[in-house]
Amino acid sequence: MKEKIISLFKRMEPDKEKSPLLHTAYDAFFTFAFTPNHVTKDGVHIRDGMDLKRTMVIVVIALQLCYLWGTLNIGHQHFAALGMYQNLILEGFHLKLFYGLVQLLPIWIVAHVVGLGVEFYFAARKKHAVEEGFLVTGALIPLIMPPDIPLWILAFSIVFAVIIGKEAFGGTGMNVVNIALLARVFVFFAYPGTISGDEVWVSGLTKAGPGGVADYGWIHMNVLNPIFESFGWDTFSQGAAVIDGYSGATPMALAAKGGWAAVMEHYTPGQMFWGLIPGSIGETSKPFIIIGALMLIGAGIASWRIMVSMVLGMVTMALVFNMWGFNAYMEIPWYYHFSMGSFLFAMAFMATDPVTAASTNRGKWIYGFMIGVIGLIVRVMNPAYPEGWMLAILLLNVFAPLIDHFVLQSNINKRMKHVQ
């Protein structure tokens, strides 16, 4: 039976020379469905069951809870602005879920179609198999974008990141900086209006403040509403007004203006911890990010050294700021920095990218610690950038080879000392 299926597939295999792009695509899907029949030679005779596909898919699985929360929270923030279903995430569940899906699915599809398209094209040109790196990049990018990101900007940023950030350096494993963050930093600097300020974190409003109204698309009004009506459920109501006193500001923006007191006017610590706040799609739910981080550590996929040292670096810097106390932002207790912004998401999924992080164990401690320190400095001291982790990680990505160099040099020196 299995032999028949395989020979059927093998008969469909396009010619490698005549149509390289088709062959690359075929090969990617065939090896996805069937682990190849390759056997070992010149070296070990047995191999570990682990391969890059499995490594990458485990990261993708660890992100799924963030996807689930992100979908619901897009809806939740939208309705919270309208003063509806604002107490619990599960109130108005169908509306939040479908509202979130309508926002998130196009982002996810564009990220994968564009990213994999570039990946397949370069794999065909270089005549090697499609490497699995983009599986994770493609899963990460939607989670670090605001829910209202225009799709053409998203597509543009991914093309930029994958070509300039990865393929120009030689493909998976060769890139210097984190591809997902490079896509985000591209949007951040090229189209700042779509990814910063108070307007962009809550979707579907004409204005995220008093005077704004809900603005739904064709699909909400003509597809979803009739279905919900037929079940007798609540429906989307076009033109519902944003409640008085509402602002779409994230805790980060509020803290920059007035410290912890300003944050507390809008959000409770519990809301911030559980993730009922506006922000990038995947970054808000702290428990789900922590579960993902523990999965990665438990499976031995992501480096616990980087995560622990990044926490240590951030806490150290936060304590220094607490003691300094120059302004209200610096006085925010160190433990609240965990639930604001994207620290945990950056720690679990961004800083731990093995290709761009330091590659020696000792180097990982330094690398993570420096991200923690620098990221918090950017967050607290630089009013131009509301959040610091993206820039801190990209900066340390560039310095990671230097950190490794010093670690290796100390190993070399220890060895060479005995020679003289």
Partner 1 sequence: MESRIAEAPTAVSPEGEPLIVKLRRGFDVHLHGEAPKKVHSEVSVNRFAVQAPNYLGLAPMPKLMVEVGQHVLAGEALFFDKNRPEVHFVAPVSGELIAVNRGERRAIQELVILADKSIQYRTYDKIPSLDASREELFAFLKDSGAWTMFRQRPYNLLADPDAVPRDIFISTFDTAPLAPDLNLVLSGREAAFQKGLDVLGKLTTGKVYLGLDARGNAVSSAYSQARGVQKVGFKGKHPAGNVGVQIHHIRPIRSKEKVWTLGVQEVITLGTLFLEGKYDASRIVALTGSALEKPIYVSTYAGANLGDLLKNQGVAENSRIISGDVLSGKTKTAEQFLDVYDDQVSVIPEGNEYEMFGWLAPQSARPSTSRTFFSGIFPFGWIYNATTNTRGERRAFVVTGQYEEVLPMDIYPQHLLKAIITNDIEKIEGLGIHEVVEEDLALCEFACTSKQPLQKILREGIDMMIKEGL
**Which positions touch partner 1 (CB under 8 A)?**
2, 5-6, 31, 33-55, 57-58, 129, 131-133, 170-174, 298-301, 303, 354-355, 357, 359-361, 364, 404, 408, 411-412, 414-416, 418-419
Closest distance between partner 1 and the C-beta of residue 362, in Å? 10
Closest distance between partner 1 and the C-beta of residue 303, in Å? 6
Neighbouring C-beta atoms of residue 275, cutoff 10 Å: 23
Distances, alpha carbon 137 to alpha carbons 143, 146, 280, 392, in Å: 10, 16, 16, 19
Q: Nearer Cβ to partner 1, position 18 or 38?
A: 38
Q: Which residues pair with 171 in a beta bridge?
A: none
Q: Nearer Cβ to partner 1, position 36 or 193?
A: 36
Q: Which segments of 215-300 does DSSP mark as H helices, in order?
A: 218-219, 225-231, 251-266, 269-274, 286-299
Closest distance between partner 1 and the C-beta of residue 348, in Å? 17
Q: Nearer Cβ to partner 1, position 48 or 244?
A: 48
Q: Which segments of 209-250 does DSSP mark as H helices, in order?
A: 218-219, 225-231
The CA distance from 145 to 290, in Å, is 20
Nearest to 166 by CA among 111, 115, 127, 108: 115
The CA distance from 225 to 217, in Å, is 11
Q: Nearer Cβ to partner 1, position 168 or 227?
A: 168
Residue 308: both structure tokens together: 């622990």
Tell the burial category of 231 from Cβ atoms under 10 Å away from its Cβ (0-12, 13-18, 19+).
Answer: exposed
Closest distance between partner 1 and the C-beta of residue 30, in Å? 9
Q: Nearer Cβ to partner 1, position 115 or 146?
A: 115
Closest distance between partner 1 and the C-beta of residue 174, in Å? 7
Distances, alpha carbon 415 to alpha carbons 362, 407, 409, in Å: 17, 13, 10
Closest distance between partner 1 and the C-beta of residue 31, in Å? 6
Q: Nearer Cβ to partner 1, position 51 or 229?
A: 51
Q: Nearer Cβ to partner 1, position 3 or 15?
A: 3
Write out the H or E segment, with its range, that includes residue 88. Answer: none
Residue 244: both structure tokens together: 């008085």
Residue 81: both structure tokens together: 């602005």
Q: Nearer Cβ to partner 1, position 18 or 417?
A: 417
Closest distance between partner 1 and the C-beta of residue 301, in Å? 7
CA dihedral 221, 224, 225, 230 (to 10 degrees): 150
Closest distance between partner 1 and the C-beta of residue 163, in Å? 18
